[in-house]
């Protein structure tokens, strides 16, 4: 598989007319890309759902910039707003009553919008942006790439000691390490953005409906539809929602309506499926895949003298009505050996992301649990071989 | 019609299952919004095209972040790239051979991407951004809203005299005044971005295939599908295309795939229609609407002692093989009287955008020619009444 410059092996030239399963043709020489979290492993479920999720759009549909001018977020399609609220009610992971919904081109664009909304051009100094390490590597890039005078990346929230206003991003469950998190800095001048991309039942027990000022979610990680680029923010304060909408207006004049109505349809089917037969319950399906992968990975890692994986507390999930384990989207592999594990794994034809990118040590690597089945199998084989070598102290 | 805070009267809650014509119910008291260029007036053509433009998307389609990892713009759906190239060949408005295509969430996001790509974090000072007045009001907002240290809005290109590197945006035909434009500053350190949103046969004669380093186009103004938020850049230099792609990756991890494949389909139908019967030629259809509106508007304005409209040279259009007039998307109305015409028109329940927003005098106003038919009729009635009053020197 060529084209690894862009960092992917599980490419699909998806076409709406061909809906065949992803073909992977990995050989012992193939590089396996476990860098990104491309959630195509959930595709078979949506194929099985057939016509229920099929969307038909006529040539004359959705032509206007506007969706609902009575809404602060005037480009939000009303059916998407409704589907989002219904799904949160079914899952019980977030409070939506009296919240403003702002839709974005993925939750990525919404984080940028939140930084814009929570900073003030009138302030002499940029507002500090922090997140507790290990933090999602994208936040730093987003905060720094335009050299904005509105906000400034200050890194790890644990060591943050600057005076003045700050924004803390709380990622829960956390990317990269899957931990359930609370705010760390806890000062009066602080504003919080909760990135809840992974607070869905396939990844973690749903212990309560969260009720924070700004909560970000994304279609990509909820259902696996990353290509649609749909995220949403639940926002308590009207003025913050208005400024986030303004960010979206200036930077892209709104968000794809085709993606919005498709997300509305699929989130609707997802919500319905939760109430009916198990075979149509997406969260059961996706949970079972991740659970099996985590069991297999833990079985491989437990033989190692140097590698370890985080342990997650079992917790009662209000959604399933059972005690459940966490099965995060990424494995945060730690090694006792003081080695740059990203480089070492690459020698073994495994692409993972170094702990350094997340404000941690290179003894950590983040590994996507989302790869196509064949790639995941090959990864476990190669990791087993590495572990056999390290146990014999023959690291090659 | 309420909800004018967000500045629109021609709202449509489009639904893919209801494809009824836009209903407007204007009364003599209704505010008419001619501020935005919401191109819903082209909707009837696409309705008439029926199934040819219908898009069907299955639940399992388009799930990956990736479209073509062998392409610099790895999230560009190949069928959209192909459709863009075919259409430019048919219309003859831009050279596409050996060009990199970067897709964006509208050309709005692509302008931001171009600013990022053409500036350098290594430079001590931000690169100057200029455009010849009257310039599109959005450029200033886009350059200033994040207080970027990479680039700085310096306003009118005609009066720009700072040393050092600069970026000039050349909008042709120009928004707001419809003029065909060339670069103004013409210095060695300059980089040019051509915003060619309106360089299509319904608006202006196509006199040559343009061949500039960075050329921006948008689906919104080409076919009227503003809700899809699809724009594209034709980029000569690989490194610039790579940096524009990087901007898109950091700010939104790509662009809606649903919108991309819909744009591919509709641009394909558009291109095919140009070769066949007149009734299926979108450019003929949209040209005839705009031509009729311009004739009616000029008929009203010619009675005025104070108002005037720009005159455009007739030119030979290579696409139609005829001499043609320009019929811009906006009317750039000028008044001899030293009055803030945006405010004055608002008293007459017409919302237009002041010349001041475009770096010009408030004696100018920009008026969208894209309003629904009923709104356009009412606008002409009201403008006639204003002109009758101003001719009698009784401005109310």
Decide if B105 and A255 are in contact by the 8 Å CB cutoff. yes
All residues of chain A having their beta carbon less than 8 Å from the beta carbon of residue B146 are 116, 146, 148-150
Helix axes B257-275, B282-301, angle to 10 degrees: 90
Q: What is the 3-state secondary structure (H, E, C) of A43-101?
A: HHHHHHCHHHHCEEECCCCCCCCCCCCCCCCCCCCHHHHHHHHHHHHHHCCECCCCCEE
Instruction: Examine the pLDDT at A382 and tell me if it is beyond 50.
Output: yes
Residue B8: per-residue pLDDT: 34
Furthest CA-CA distance within chain B: 67
Residue A4: per-residue pLDDT: 26
Task: Express each pLDDT in A316-347 by its tens digit.
Answer: 999 999 999 999 999 999 999 999 999 999 99
All residues of chain B having their beta carbon less than 8 Å from the beta carbon of residue A10 are 64, 66
Task: Express each pLDDT in A363-380 by its tens digit.
Answer: 999 999 999 999 999 999
Residue B180: per-residue pLDDT: 98
State both tokens at A240: 């913050």
Residue B26 banded pLDDT, cuts 50, 70, 90: confident
Closest chain A residue by Cα to residue B122 = A147
Task: Express each pLDDT in A75-89 by its tens digit.
Answer: 999 999 999 999 999
All residues of chain B having their beta carbon less than 8 Å from the beta carbon of residue A52 are 59
Residue in A4, A106, A255 closest to B229 by CB: A255
Residue A396: per-residue pLDDT: 45
User: What would the mean pLDDT of A225-238 be, rounded to a whole number?
Assistant: 98
Count Cα atoms within 13 angstroms, Cβ side, for B84. 28
Among A166-175, A271-280, B201-210, the least confident range = A271-280
SS3 assignment, position B6: helix
B32, A100 Cβ separation under 8 angstroms: no
b/e map A345-373, b = 16+ CB within 10 Å: beeebbbbbbbbbbbbbbbbbbbbbbbbe
Closest-CA distance of chain A to residue B231, Å: 10
State both tokens at A351: 């692409």
Residue A74: per-residue pLDDT: 98
All residues of chain B having their beta carbon less than 8 Å from the beta carbon of residue A42 are 63
Among A1-10, A42-51, A297-306, B288-297, the least confident range = A1-10
Residue in A19, A150, A226 closest to B60 by CB: A19
User: What would the mean pLDDT of A212-240 be, rounded to a whole number?
Assistant: 98
State both tokens at A62: 């959705």
All residues of chain B having their beta carbon less than 8 Å from the beta carbon of residue A62 are 14, 16, 225, 227-228
Residue in A104, A106, A258 closest to B259 by CB: A258
What's the rounded Cα separation, in Å, for the pair A114 and A236? 12
Residue with tokens 């099996």: A292
Closest chain A residue by Cα to residue B222 = A63
All residues of chain B having their beta carbon less than 8 Å from the beta carbon of residue A44 are 60
State both tokens at B303: 């009675």
Average pLDDT of the residues of chain B: 92
Q: What is the pTM of this model?
A: 0.93
Instruction: Examine the pLDDT at A276 and tell me if it is beyond 90.
Output: no
Decide if B66 and A229 are in contact by the 8 Å CB cutoff. no
What's the rounded Cα separation, in Å, for the pair A285 and A260? 24
Closest chain B residue by Cα to residue A243 = B145
Task: Express each pLDDT in B129-141 by its tens digit.
Answer: 999 999 999 999 9
Among A273-282, B83-92, B224-233, B343-352, the least confident range = A273-282
What's the rounded Cα separation, in Å, for the pair B102 and A250? 19
Residue A15: per-residue pLDDT: 37
- H/E run at residue B269: helix B257-275
CB atoms inside a 10 Å sphere around CB A190: 18
Closest chain A residue by Cα to residue B6 = A69
Residue A277: per-residue pLDDT: 65
ipTM of the complex: 0.93
Closest chain B residue by Cα to residue A254 = B229
A134: exposed, middle or buried (C-beta count within 10 Å: 0-12, 13-18, 19+)?
buried
Decide if A254 and B229 are in contact by the 8 Å CB cutoff. yes
Residue A297: per-residue pLDDT: 98
State both tokens at A364: 């950590």
Residue in A62, A79, A250 closest to B227 by CB: A62
């Amino acid at each position: 598989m060529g084209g690894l410059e862009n960092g992917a092996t599980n490419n699909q030239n998806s076409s709406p007319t061909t809906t065949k399963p992803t073909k992977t043709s990995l050989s012992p020489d193939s590089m396996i890309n476990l860098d990104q979290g491309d959630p195509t492993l959930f595709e078979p479920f949506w194929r099985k759902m057939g016509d229920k999720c099929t969307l038909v759009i006529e040539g004359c549909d959705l032509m206007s910039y506007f969706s609902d001018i009575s809404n602060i977020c005037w480009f939000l399609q009303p059916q998407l707003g409704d589907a989002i609220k219904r799904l949160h009610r079914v899952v019980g992971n977030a409070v939506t009553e009296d919240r403003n919904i702002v839709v974005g081109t993925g939750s990525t664009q919404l984080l940028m919008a939140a930084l814009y909304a929570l900073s003030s051009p009138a302030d002499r100094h940029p507002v500090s942006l922090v997140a507790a390490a290990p933090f999602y590597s994208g936040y730093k890039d987003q905060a720094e790439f335009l050299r904005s005078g509105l906000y400034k990346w200050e890194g790890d929230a644990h060591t943050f000691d600057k005076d003045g206003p700050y924004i803390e991003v709380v990622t829960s469950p956390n990317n990269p390490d899957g931990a359930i998190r609370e705010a760390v800095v806890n000062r009066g001048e602080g504003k919080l953005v909760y990135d809840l991309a992974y607070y869905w039942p396939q990844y973690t027990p749903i212990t309560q409906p969260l009720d924070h000022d700004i909560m970000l979610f994304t279609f990509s990680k909820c259902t696996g539809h990353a290509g649609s680029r749909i995220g949403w923010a639940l926002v308590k304060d009207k003025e913050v929602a208005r400024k986030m909408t303004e960010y979206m207006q200036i930077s892209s004049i709104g968000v794809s309506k085709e993606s919005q109505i498709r997300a509305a349809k699929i989130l609707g089917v997802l919500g319905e499926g939760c109430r009916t037969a198990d075979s149509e319950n997406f969260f059961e399906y996706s949970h079972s895949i991740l659970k099996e992968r985590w069991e297999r990975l833990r079985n491989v890692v437990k033989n190692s003298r140097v590698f370890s994986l985080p342990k997650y507390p079992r917790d009662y999930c209000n959604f399933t009505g059972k005690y459940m384990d966490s099965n995060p989207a990424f494995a945060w592999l730690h090694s006792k050996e003081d080695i740059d594990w990203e480089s070492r794994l690459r020698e073994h034809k495994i692409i993972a992301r170094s702990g350094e990118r997340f404000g941690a040590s290179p003894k950590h690597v983040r590994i996507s649990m989302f790869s196509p089945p064949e790639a995941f199998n090959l990864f476990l084989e190669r990791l087993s071989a590495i572990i056999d070598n390290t146990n014999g102290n023959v690291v090659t």
